[in-house]
Amino acid sequence: MKDMRTTRSAGLTVLIVDDASDTRNNVRRLLGLTLGMEVVGEAANAEDAIKKIGQLSPQVVLMDVNMPGMDGITATARITSTYSETVVIVMSVQGETEYVRRAMIAGAKDYLVKPFGADELVECIQKAWERETARRVKGQAAHSIGKPHGQVIAVFSPKGGVGKTTLAVNVAVVLAAERRAQVCVVDLSLQFGDVCVFLGLVPRRTLSDLVSETTLDAKTIAPYFMQHSCGVKVLPAPVSPEYAEYVVPEHILRVLSLCRTLFDYVIVDMAASFADTALATLDAADKVLLIGNMDMASLKNMKVSLELMQRLGYGREKVFLILNQAGYDYGIRFGDLEAALSRKVDFYIHHDDIPAMLAANRGTPIVLDQPDSKLAKRFRELVNEHLAPKQRGEEAVSLWRRRQAK
């Protein structure tokens, strides 16, 4: 897989938008030295940029934020809504992070902090373009092929400690143990992955070792899966945070698309971040379970995430909103909360720390450790009613299996 790191986007056409001629010249010079990149035009303001995009159809637009007249964020929103194929990358100076966040919501695919070097610039353009291409290919594949492969379900939240791992693990166990599906959990909480802890497994080889393999196929990946007694397989996260950086978006795309061919369900536990590895995961996923809690910080971050996912083109059918650790006594009414998020919460899971803590500390998922608890029942409902609705007749079979197991 190492060869992917040197993949080059052939003949990418780029438009540079910046009111400072120095910046335009500098970027033109840096890209002029790069094979496979062609600067097709420049614009000193947003209005001219929009006109030139119509004339030149660049594949990538490098957009400054602060410009006289229309600002780069408004321009980004206009461009991405009119020319959905165009990849916009925002260039900003340090300290404009709020603008950057708004630009991403406006549809920018990445951002560069000025001043930047040639390597950083080229890598940013290539990666943004590769992500976009992968997304398009996937979209086309989904249209042209029936349903040969498994589903990728990404469990995400912009905040830590909300219950992502708890959810990922319990959903996986219900699918494997009760629905008899082939399931793997890919731990993409790359720095502090704890799927193995929740399942009482001790990782040996991890994703950071896997990405150093020269080839990636069913045979090479097989020894990396850890097997839990309930049937779930796990691809463990690197054992220590410093190994996380070995895993780049291209690896994630390839690992997930391979896992899709091997399993019915690929559950991805994610970190609380919008890093490019996370964006690649979210793009590759068929479904995103967006998890939040009932505190203001979590709600604010959920709203920002929902807006960003909307800008990334994820529809209602892709993003499934779950409120975990919910309760009636937290000073926020469910109706107000949904109004603040401007959408309905798809599924509520109540707060119940005893079973959750006991299970986590025993290294046994709640649905196995306390199968009769209300939390376990709720996880089963999530799977059976929403994520993998049962076919006719299946209900009776699984009831029979549970009785047999007792």
Ligand X SMILES: Nc1ncnc2c1ncn2[C@@H]1O[C@H](COP(=O)(O)OP(=O)(O)O)[C@@H](O)[C@H]1O
Residues forming contacts to ligand X in the complex (CB under 6 A) are: 157, 160-166, 324-325, 349, 351-353, 356-357, 360, 375
Instruction: Kindly tell me which of 73 and 207 has the beta carbon lying closer to Mg ion.
Output: 207
Q: Which does 324 bind (CB under 5 to 8 A by kind): Mg ion, ligand X, none?
A: ligand X
Q: Pick between residue 41 and residue 355 the one whose CB is nearest to Mg ion.
A: 355
Cβ proximity to ligand X, 86 vs 165, nearer residue: 165
Please state the closest distance from residue 197 (CB atom) to ligand X, in A. 9
Interacting partner of 30 out of ligand X, Mg ion, none (Cβ under 5 to 8 A depending on kind): none
User: Would you count residue 165 as binding Mg ion (CB under 5 A)?
Assistant: yes
Instruction: Report d(CA 314, CA 320) in Å as an integer.
Output: 11
Find which of ligand X, Mg ion, none residue 166 binds, CB within 5 to 8 Å per kind.
ligand X
Least spacing, CB of residue 161 vs ligand X, in Å: 4
- Nearest distance, CB of residue 190 and Mg ion, angstroms: 11
Measured from the CB atom, is 115 or 241 closer to ligand X? 241
Q: Angle at which helices 296-311 and 334-341 pack, to 10 degrees?
A: 40
Please say which residue, 328 or 400, places its beta carbon nearer to ligand X: 328
**Of residues 135-164, which lie at the interface with Mg ion (CB under 5 A)?**
164
Least distance between Mg ion and beta carbon 271 (Å): 7
Closest by CA position to 258, among listed 233, 240, 241: 233
- Residue 277 contact, options ligand X, Mg ion, none, Cβ 5-8 Å cut-off depending on partner type: none
DSSP label at residue 71: -
Give me the residue whose beta carbon is nearest to Mg ion: 165
CB of 385 to Mg ion, least distance (A): 24
Tell me how far, at minimum, the Cβ of 198 lies from ligand X, in Å: 7
Q: How far is the CB of 194 from ligand X (least distance, A)?
A: 6
Min dist CB 232 to ligand X, Å, is 16
Q: How many residues bind Mg ion (CB under 5 A)?
A: 2
Task: Decide whether 26 or 324 has the Cβ nearer to ligand X.
Answer: 324
**Is residue 324 at the binding interface for Mg ion, with CB under 5 A as the rule?**
no
Residue 270 C-beta: closest distance to ligand X, Å: 9
**Residue carrying the six token digits 């219900």:** 174
Closer to Mg ion by Cβ: residue 160 or 223: 160
**β-pair type (226-227, 233-235):** antiparallel
Contacts of 33 (CB under 8 A, 6+ apart): 118
Angle among Cα 156, 160, 161 to the nearest 5 degrees reads 105
Strand residue runs (E) in 164-307:
183-188, 226-227, 233-235, 265-270, 287-292
Identify the CA nearest to 161 among candidates 285, 278, 280, 291: 291
Q: Where would I find the beta strands (DSSP E) of 51-86?
A: 60-64
The Cα 30–Cα 271 span in angstroms is 34
Distance CA 310, CA 378 (A): 28
Asked whether the beta carbons of 77 and 50 are under 8 A apart, the reply is: no
CA distances from 96 to 103, 111, 112, 180 (A): 10, 11, 11, 50
Residue 384 found at the interface with Mg ion (CB under 5 A) = no
Q: Quote the tokens at residue 336.
A: 């107000």
Q: Which does 119 bind (CB under 5 to 8 A by kind): Mg ion, ligand X, none?
A: none
Q: Smaller CB distance to ligand X: residue 78 or 164? A: 164
**Measured from the CB atom, is 37 or 188 closer to ligand X?**
188
Please name the helix (run of DSSP H) or strand (run of DSSP E) that holds residue 136, with its range, or none: helix 118-144
End-to-end CA distance of the chain: 46
Q: Which residues bind to Mg ion, rule: CB under 5 A?
A: 164-165
